A = this chain, B = another copy of it.
Amino acid sequence: MYPIPHRSKTQRHLLAVGLLMILILCISSFAQASDPLPSWNNGLVKTKIIQFVCDVTNTNSENYVAPKERVAVFDNDGTLWVEQPISTQTVFTYDQIKKLAPQHPEWKTIQPFKAVLEGNMSAVSSFGTKGFIKMIVTTHSGMTATEFTNEVNEWISKAKHPRFKCLYTNLVYQPQLELLTFLRANGFKTYIISGSSMAFMRPWTEKAYGIPPEQVVGSSVVTEFRIVDNKPVIIRLPKNNFTDNRAGKPIGIYQHIGRRPIFAFGNADADMQMIQYTKAGKGKRLGLFIHHTDAKREYAYDRKSNIGRLDKVLDMASSNDWIIVDMKKDWGQIFPTPK
């Protein structure tokens, strides 16, 4: 060890200029050579993202972050794929109720199952979050883990979105696919932190986003290990285990990853705590929210929406240095070009 020499004002100035030049070179090399985010329109948001990645991966920067600490977390519904007019897992849940109804004659008289079977959607809504969790927990249990995965795979390979008339996995956002690839190419580990069920997402996230099951954190039911007919199986029980939403998101991150992310991306008030937790760490951090402003190409909703409500965040964004991504303005293309 030797003492760090005191730097003169001129030296400090030269150092600052040098670091700035490295940063500019880094950004322009990304921007010119081959744009890593071609579906993102040029502007402040795109620049901030590229600048952040340049900065934390630059060993000469005071904001350098070691690769193992480069954790990026993304909400799923409304952040990585479409969540309107109702969330995809909700559609799956309704379809499962209809599919499994013959084995559950009692559903004809039990709410909110009765309302779903009768197609009375306003009645379904009247049972609120509690009714929703009841439906999820019931349809996502009573079978082995493998059987449930098979149910999801079968459904996701066939079900189509009511407006866009294509598979839900075709309604992932092209700019986000590019961002995920860009982050991973720069040593980031990308995670999903979603209020949806882990078991509903894990079967298809690797194919859709390049995010493997072990990097998908979400809500879960209680599960149990049993030996059935001499075969060890995991049984899914009709009991909620963990709700990975709002204040649950930082908890999901802590329990699952055990590191604080340096980059977080959401689209709703329910993602606020995840972004707060991310930004509260030491050093440079980025927190972003998508604002759905594009009714023509996708949907436009915010303060009054029941799904993906973005209200408090809009008021608090500027004072907290949260970046609001304006879908209409910032995204040149919404969905991947069909192959």
Contact = CB atoms under 8 A, between A and B. Distances in A.
Contact of A234 (B225, B251, B257): B251
Contact of A276 (B232, B254, B273): B232
Given A68-B212, A214-B259, A225-B247, A254 B234 contact: yes
Contacts of A213: 257-259
A251 B273 contact: no
Contact of A280 (B198, B220, B231): B231
A239 B309 CA distance: 32
A308 interface: no
Nearest to A205: B258
Nearest to A227: B276
Given A214-B257, A234-B254, A257-B213, A225 B145 contact: no
A78 interface: no
Contacts of A257: 213-214
A284 to B, nearest CB: 17
B198 A225 contact: no
A223 B256 contact: no
Interface in A55-72: 68
Contacts of A212: 68
Nearest to A71: B214
A103 interface: no
Contacts of A216: 258
Interface string A203-243: 00010000011101000100111110001111000000000
A250 B277 contact: no
Contacts of A247: 224-226
A214 B256 contact: yes
A255 interface: yes
A202 interface: yes
Nearest to A278: B232
Contact of A277 (B202, B232, B256): B232
Interface string A267-278: 000000100110
B145 A254 contact: yes
A271 to B, nearest CB: 13
A280 B223 contact: no
Contacts of A220: 255
Contact of A225 (B189, B231, B251): B251
Given A68-B212, A232-B250, A250-B232, A225 B256 contact: no
Q: 4 tightest CB-CB pairs across the interface, nearest first?
A: A213-B258, A225-B247, A225-B250, A232-B276
Interface of A: 68, 145, 189, 198, 202, 206, 212-214, 216, 220, 223-227, 231-234, 247-251, 254-259, 273, 276-277, 280
